[in-house]
Structure 1
């Protein structure tokens, strides 16, 4: 039960659709509070739209307050939605429940709802580009109001609103919405992914339709235009949808889909963080970090604003969704968030200056590309100057283009080069097996998956069951890799260090080596895709 909606927004005004549609303009500011919002007719329209959704979806009933019932309050949240060009396209007003005052076991039981991994979205983009169909996007208006809830709660001395459906802010709202949408899709003939519970597939007359859910954003596409259109109409009949057409802007990712493939980048987001941290006029640099950089705690250095430093790191970490070329440098700087110094902030600014030099870079997925699966695994040697731990680097490719990667400092000190390289191989193996299971839902079947490492000793340990002095210190869990090798899931292949693509995630590289690996990974503007594919052809020939 929800009560005490702001008195100045009356129930009678909710039904006044004429007032809501009187203006086609939007406000450029975000209100501080309700009083500020009510001073602008565009924000008043947005509030009317929200309350109209409540009435249309029959979200609540006005009832007497039950005895001994702890009520839950509400508040208005105002947010401008921007388009790809940064212009405000919609004023969004949400009346949300104050879920922070809910008590587990009283107001809610379960809250978990599956959310798609961004790497799963990259896999979908690569698959769609390879098959030559374009992905579409739709947004569910007031998605959480479509989810039915079982718990009861209330607020108001005499009369309260008893919720029939979930409301934004309630802890159980995402779970309720996902349950409703999943039930609808399964009844419509879709099959849920065996690994990814946000993936739904429909096969009909030899055609395939793929749907991926990210809360209230839905990405879909298929081999048949008729099947895609039918699904859009079906969803619009069941839920109130905003059909946004071809997928172009999703979770701050910009997607360009064409006949030759798909290009994913974050140019707008990059410009936004330049403005946020006053780096618009910064001098460009050709690499994210100098190879002469000697990073340590710098305890004698001058301390800097921790909040600002963490904000810069957080912004850069989200940029690594399409910019793996800065992954290692950002993760290296992130290790010093607890006590940042001037030297650490200068290193972060160097990353921004590199982004100034390469603002338009992104990931290119070519149409007609093969969908073979392979991985690379590498590690530096005792690279951390503080605790002498090594850094693991892995990357996984679908066809010739990157879909997953990682750069992570190892949890323990490696006592040998064998163990140092064995650790990232274990992580890469796990990721490859997850991708193999996920891609099986797309109808792709794989035998042995190639995992390329530049350590013959690590390969020997995985293949040879004999224990000796070089392996006795390795934990039992590392032999999981050997088990999957013997089962035929993974095939370990040696690659010379010069062609080890995971190098870019483990160490600082000179400009020539850095740009060479960056190009091989498809981390370049779509305008030079021909050069990338040529490089990849040369590399694959070397590996065979």
Structure 2
């Protein structure tokens, strides 16, 4: 559902004044200002005022704000759920309590001017397909528009977003005459990673050079676009009927950044067959060993796992088991499981020992995995075509046509 003139419903909780609009100035008092009674568009306080209004309405209707996400509202009734997800003036309403969902839609239409958009098919550039096999998410139209916008329609497709074991440097190559296009490209590709985890690492690396991009960086970002063209109809498939258990994978590339010698953390979480959370991020400090690098990555995964467990519990999908966390470094696993603080780990910052507490509390279970099967490797380095395709398949990143065909069979 979409709210018409959402910001005009918001009520201000502080005094705000504005100059008299052009064409409406008072002849008697041209120096006067207007005291605002309600929010207007382009007012900084308008989004907060609107959120306060809609949150108050949903709370009075029996919904509760989830601690894990302030834009998620949940209502339970005899074991059934009604869920409202709010994004500014767009609302997604779902759940298995059909009577409550219908009542909520009616109440919203009475209280606000609403537009019924029907079953969810498009949302903020995301395309949602329902098949017999499950739900398929992609950004095919967004990707096409992106390629067209930056004049890459006639480019030659390529099988990987970045050369295998490519090493980018901040100061090699000529400066770009205008860095605007490069920054726009990176920003657009970051949004594309919402349904394309396979380009997260490449886009993350190129985002490091937005302040002063060079010609090699522009060529590398264009290569990502060529890869996007070759996989333009790919997206995430969430199969139904799968055992909805939360599983995590974490990995790190030791000293992978040539400029700072910092390592890159990569992790991914799956719920059943579907990929629900992933990250590729350069670590804030330099590590002194591969064990320290992997341990820092595991700590970051523990934080994300804690939030996901809270979110699942808020949705009344209790996580009453130790979440398996697969890591390919035995030393990091032993370090996380050992309750004794060794002298060798004194230099590791205190907050990175968060993972140790979670393991000892049996909220997380660290498990060994072979390097060749470590799917989080996709988020820490550029891979060969064979490995990329293997991990892409494990994450259920599939073609749209294939998903549709399988659903019809």
- For normalisation by structure 2, the TM-score amounts to 0.92
Post-superposition shift, 1:344? Answer: 0.9
Cα separation, 2, equivalents of 1:223 and 1:172: 35
In the TM superposition, what whole-angstrom CA distance separates every residue of 1:434-472 from its partner, at most 9, and x where no partner exists? 010011011111121111110100011111133446423
Cα separation, 2, equivalents of 1:504 and 1:429: 19
- Which residue is equivalent to 1:153? 17
Post-superposition shift, 1:300? Answer: 4.3
The answer on whether the counterparts of 1:304 and 1:342 sit within 8 Å (CA) in structure 2 is no
Pair 1:181 & 2:181 matched? no
Count of residues in correspondence between the two structures: 395
Matches within 5 A, 1:427-446: 427-446=300-319
The answer on whether the counterparts of 1:364 and 1:525 sit within 8 Å (CA) in structure 2 is no
Task: Choose 251-260 or 232-241, whichever is displaced more.
Answer: 251-260
User: Partner of 2:261: helix, strand, or coil?
Assistant: coil
Q: Point out which structure has higher relative CO (alpha carbons under 8 A, 6+ apart).
A: 2
Task: Choose 425-434 or 185-194, whichever is displaced more.
Answer: 185-194
User: Partner of 2:248: helix, strand, or coil?
Assistant: strand
Cα separation, 1, equivalents of 2:398 and 2:200: 15
Cα separation, 1, equivalents of 2:78 and 2:357: 40
In the TM superposition, what whole-angstrom CA distance separates every residue of 1:489-516 from its partner, at most 9, and x where no partner exists? 1111111111111000001111011000
- Which residue is equivalent to 2:115? 242
Cα separation, 1, equivalents of 2:211 and 2:376: 28
Pair 1:488 & 2:362 matched? yes
User: Partner of 1:244: helix, strand, or coil?
Assistant: coil
The answer on whether the counterparts of 1:331 and 1:407 sit within 8 Å (CA) in structure 2 is yes
User: Partner of 2:100: helix, strand, or coil?
Assistant: helix
Cα separation, 2, equivalents of 1:171 and 1:241: 23
Cα separation, 1, equivalents of 2:277 and 2:223: 25
Cα separation, 2, equivalents of 1:145 and 1:191: 24
Pair 1:420 & 2:293 matched? yes
Matches within 5 A, 1:217-296: 217-291=90-164, 293-296=166-169
- Which residue is equivalent to 1:341? 214
Task: Choose 417-426 or 330-339, whichever is displaced more.
Answer: 330-339
- Which residue is equivalent to 1:368? 241
In the TM superposition, what whole-angstrom CA distance separates every residue of 1:145-187 from its partner, at most 9, and x where no partner exists? 1111132424335277654321111111111111111111111
- Which residue is equivalent to 1:478? 352
RMSD: 2.0
Matches within 5 A, 1:485-524: 485-524=359-398
In the TM superposition, what whole-angstrom CA distance separates every residue of 1:239-282 from its partner, at most 9, and x where no partner exists? 00011001111111111124432111111111111121111111
In the TM superposition, what whole-angstrom CA distance separates every residue of 1:334-381 from its partner, at most 9, and x where no partner exists? 112222121111111110000110101111111222221111110012
Post-superposition shift, 1:303? Answer: 3.3
Cα separation, 2, equivalents of 1:353 and 1:262: 27
Cα separation, 1, equivalents of 2:165 and 2:79: 57
User: Partner of 1:220: helix, strand, or coil?
Assistant: strand
Task: Identify the match of residue 449 of structure 1 among 304, 308, 323.
Answer: 323
The answer on whether the counterparts of 2:83 and 2:94 sit within 8 Å (CA) in structure 1 is yes
Cα separation, 2, equivalents of 1:420 and 1:148: 49
- Which residue is equivalent to 1:142? 5
The answer on whether the counterparts of 1:248 and 1:254 sit within 8 Å (CA) in structure 2 is yes
Task: Identify the match of residue 377 of structure 1 among 250, 253, 257.
Answer: 250
The answer on whether the counterparts of 2:252 and 2:265 sit within 8 Å (CA) in structure 1 is yes
Cα separation, 2, equivalents of 1:182 and 1:486: 38
Cα separation, 2, equivalents of 1:190 and 1:433: 23
Post-superposition shift, 1:288? Answer: 0.5
Cα separation, 1, equivalents of 2:340 and 2:12: 58
Greater CA radius of gyration, 1 or 2?
A: 1
Cα separation, 1, equivalents of 2:331 and 2:72: 39
In the TM superposition, what whole-angstrom CA distance separates every residue of 1:209-260 from its partner, at most 9, and x where no partner exists? 1111111110011213333222211110110001100111111111112443
